């Protein structure tokens, strides 16, 4: 996703903010044709943050219960909860009606894609985009470190860049078959940067006795970097939304957020993470692949031969 930008669209373009507002606003909110953009953005952001809290709370309860089951197995010789019926501090929220799974894309030659395993309604948060966050002032340095050959860079509307190169399991392993040494060097550079920033921020993300988790492995809803751009006759069914996760977000859920800032976050910062949410732009059926408009600037810059502009705009 190199240098993502808003592409020019045909007259039938769809405004993402108005689309999400029409599905996420409540009866107390003004109609979209009478609401100002900042008001619409606040309503949409708050709705997505509520969804994110619900989603990560479910992940947290599953993680805690799994840990307790392992303790029970070690202590009692069986994985049961008869000896500890209350393993979490609060009841688990209702399950989501869907999940998502990464597997071979329906687009030939596109590698891995992401699919819905249940019905997803318009306006539903489906994933976060993982990776290291680079603010505008970080870009001169980052462009030397992790930019070359990187197809997983994506920009927020404020110019912040997220590096979502997929996980590299072993930094010392040789380049896999079909991957050039330069590509592998770039992939390991991104991975080293993520791990380094994650370790640096351990004290902020975890309690003093909590293990440091890699949220890219622990949470199934952080695969936004694996969504493909649609080719005809497919169309985008997800959109990206600039999401600022506040420091008031529940503390026990911080460790599941798949982003780390390049620069250390100041404790007094009101914003915890400058994130990017991927949200359903239409109703998505079970088994359907999720597609995201990459928004390459096809007018001013050279784009890949496979890239076809879509009709979505910010």
Integer Cα distance of 302 and 281 in angstroms = 27
Domain boundaries, the chain: 98-308
What are the backbone dihedrals phi and psi of residue 182, each rounded to the nearest 5 degrees, phi first?
A: -70, -40
Once rounded to an integer, what is the mean pLDDT over residues 237-256? 95
At residue 58, the pLDDT reads: 95
Q: Kindly report, residue by residue over 278-303, the tens digit of the pLDDT.
A: 999 999 999 999 999 988 765 556 66
Instruction: Please tell me the distance from the alpha carbon of residue 178 to that of residue 129, in angstroms, as a whole number.
Output: 26
pLDDT higher than threshold 80 for residue 11:
no
**SS3 of residue 18 by DSSP:** helix
2.120.10.80, 3.40.50.2020, 2.170.270.10, 3.10.580.10: which CATH number matches 98-308? 2.170.270.10
What average pLDDT does the segment 174-197 reach? 89
Residue located via tokens 């190169």: 165
Supply 199's token pair.
């370790």
pLDDT at 145: 87
126 vs 295: which has the higher pLDDT? 126
Q: Is the pTM of this model over 0.75?
A: yes
């Amino acid at each position: 996703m190199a240098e993502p930008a808003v592409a020019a669209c045909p007259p039938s373009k769809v405004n993402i903010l108005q689309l999400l507002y029409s599905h996420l606003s409540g009866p107390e909110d003004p109609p979209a044709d009478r609401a100002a953009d900042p008001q619409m953005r606040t309503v949409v952001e708050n709705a997505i943050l509520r969804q994110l809290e619900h989603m990560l709370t479910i992940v947290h309860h599953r993680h805690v219960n799994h840990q307790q089951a392992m303790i029970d197995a070690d202590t009692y010789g069986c994985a049961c909860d008869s000896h500890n019926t209350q393993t979490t501090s609060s009841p688990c929220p209702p399950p989501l009606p869907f999940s998502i799974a990464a597997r071979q894309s329906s687009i030939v030659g596109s590698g891995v894609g992401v699919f819905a395993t249940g019905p997803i309604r318009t306006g539903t948060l489906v994933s976060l985009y993982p990776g290291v966050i680079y603010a505008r002032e970080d870009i001169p340095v980052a462009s030397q470190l992790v930019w070359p050959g990187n197809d997983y860079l994506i920009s927020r509307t404020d110019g912040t860049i997220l590096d979502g190169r997929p996980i590299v399991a072993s930094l010392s392993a040789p380049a896999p078959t079909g991957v050039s040494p330069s590509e592998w060097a770039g992939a390991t550079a991104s991975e080293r940067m993520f791990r380094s920033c994650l370790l640096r921020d351990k004290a902020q993300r975890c309690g003093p006795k909590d293990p440091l988790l890699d949220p890219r492995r622990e949470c199934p809803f952080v695969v936004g970097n694996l969504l493909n751009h649609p080719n005809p006759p497919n169309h985008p069914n997800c959109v990206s939304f600039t999401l600022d996760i506040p420091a008031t977000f529940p503390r026990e859920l911080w460790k599941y957020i798949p982003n780390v800032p390049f620069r250390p976050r100041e404790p007094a910062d009101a914003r915890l993470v400058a994130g990017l949410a991927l949200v359903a732009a239409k109703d998505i059926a079970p088994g359907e692949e999720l597609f995201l408009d990459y928004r390459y600037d096809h007018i001013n810059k050279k784009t890949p031969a496979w890239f076809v502009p879509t009709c979505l705009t910010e």
